[in-house]
Amino acid sequence: TPKVLIDFLRLVHRGLHAQVRIVRTDKGTEFLNKTLRAYFASEGILNQTLVARTPEQNGVVKRRNRRLVEAARTMLSAAKVPLFFWAEAIATSCFTQNRSLVIPQHEKTLYHIINDRKPSV
């Protein structure tokens, strides 16, 4: 996990041309290790750990997840598909939202910003 997170932070830094200042994580052992601590210290990133069951601290994530769930429910309901396809519906709604929501200050989709190329939809 440390390598994946570090690669993602570098990708965000490159794609958005902005320094990541704060990383919020739960208190999972995959986020509390020497490798990440050293990387955060070298990059000047503050690592904040969240308190369990505190919705005030993870509101953005909750809203994003709720949007994904609502989109998946709508797709399943409209297509009259059984709940067996729930995981596929979530993946499809995430795929669609990452390629359709425009970030106003960049006039690009999230996919375009991070991957530096327009999505093939």
Instruction: Indicate the domain borders of the chain.
Output: 1-50, 55-121
Q: What is the pLDDT of residues 31-77, one digit of tens each?
A: 888 999 999 999 999 998 887 777 677 677 778 889 999 999 999 99
Nearest to 118 by CA among 99, 102, 97, 101: 99
Question: Which pTM was predicted?
Answer: 0.59
Q: Are 22 and 48 in contact (CB under 8 A)?
A: yes
Here the tokens at position 32 are 């509390």
If one compares 70 and 107, the residue with the highest pLDDT of the two is 70
CB 22 within 8 A of CB 50: no
Say if residues 54 and 24 touch (Cβ distance below 8 Å). no
The closest alpha carbon to 108, from 95, 96, 118, belongs to: 118
